[in-house]
Every structure is written in C-alpha cells, then in structure tokens.
Amino acid sequence: MNKFDDEFIDYDYQSEYEAELIENALKDISSENIQFYFGTYGDSIDERVNTLLKDSKKLLLQNFYGPSLAVSTTCVEIIIRFFLIKPLVQSAFLSDEWADLLTKKITSGNSNKDREMLPSILKQWDLNINKYLLSNKEQLWSTIKGKVIKRRNSFVHNGDNVVEKDAEIALECAEKMLQIVHQIFEKFGFSLDIAGKWCKIKNESNPYYSTTYKPLNAFN
C-alpha cells in the first residue's frame, strides 16, 4: 500500500466521522435557539440578500450578464451560510468536539463546505432540496452545484463569457433559495407578512401576542 492509499483511507474515515458528528448534532437542535438566531440576525441578513437580488436584476437588465451572475451566486452563498448553516452553529447543543469541527468549517471561508452540509441540515427540517425545481424543470440544487458555481468561477477567475440565460438561471436560483428560507422560518413561528420584520413575531390568530428580539448585524 503506497502513501496515496494511506491518505485516501484517512480521508474517507475522516469524512465519515465528520458526517456522523453532523448528523448527531442536528438531532439536538433547540427550536427556541433557532428562533432567537432568526429573530436577532434575520433582518440584517434579509436586507443584504434583497440588496444583492436588486443589484443582480439591475445588472441583468443592463446586459451585464457576468456581474449579474456573480452577484446572484454571492447571494446564494450568503443565504446558505447565514440563513441555513449558521443557525445550526448558534442553536445546536454542541459538544466541544463538534463545536471545533463546525467552527473550522464555517470560518474557513470555503463555501464548498457549506454546500456539503446543507442537504443534511434541510433534511432535519423536513425539506428535501433535491425536490425543488426551476422553471426549466431542472433541479435547483444540481443546477447551483453543477452550473451556477462553475459559471461564476470561470467568469471571475478566467473572464469567460456569460450569456443572458446563465445570468437568468443564477438569479432564479437565488430567489428559490430565499423561498426555502421562508418555508423554514414559518416552521418557527415567523410571519414576515404580518410583522414585517424578523425581529418581531406576531401571531395572526392572536394580534395581542408578539415576541420582539434585539436586532443585530450578522456580518460583524
């Protein structure tokens, strides 16, 4: 057995070990803590996401397809990290071992790690990301991983040409990801249509009931 084989086995073992830690931690998520995270940071994340969506649409209308695609992809990555991954970090009852592992993944700046973790996280919230389709009937998640990310990277790093359709698909992916976020916050009592803000939860059946959180900037 050569050195490459040893490294390959170690890598497989480590990957399986990390996957098991992730699965176990997901089972211990506190709904109250997740609600606190969304209530505290949701408005700042929502503002940034919506700004990026507006910018992407404006660039698309002005025929700047490459920049539009890049902004949409950044929007997708922010949604994944700050709306879908970080609530786990803030809300799970973490062992020291799990906390160290997840902190390294989140703070590494590598969005590939976020994408690896996302399907497992959404599964715990009874959401299957592979079931979401775009208007062209292609899978949302496979399009993000297999097309949008690659198109963005080739544009940013190599200056490759981006056509209008590529930019349109990237924008639709960002909007679909935000729809997934809305489905999740409804599970935790948030109703932006009623309250208008993440930091305030109002109950439609009881207008006198509300919960208010102190909003903070998730990007500080």
How does the average pLDDT of the chain come out, rounded?
79
Q: How far apart are CA 127 and CA 120, in angstroms?
A: 9
Beta carbons of 152 and 170 less than 8 angstroms apart: yes
pLDDT in tens, 97-106: 555 566 555 5
Residue-wise pLDDT tens digits, 108-120: 555 676 677 788 7
Joined together, the tokens standing for residue 198 give 């993440």
Tell if the pTM clears 0.85, that is, is over it.
Answer: no
Q: Give me the residue spans of the domains in the chain.
A: 3-212
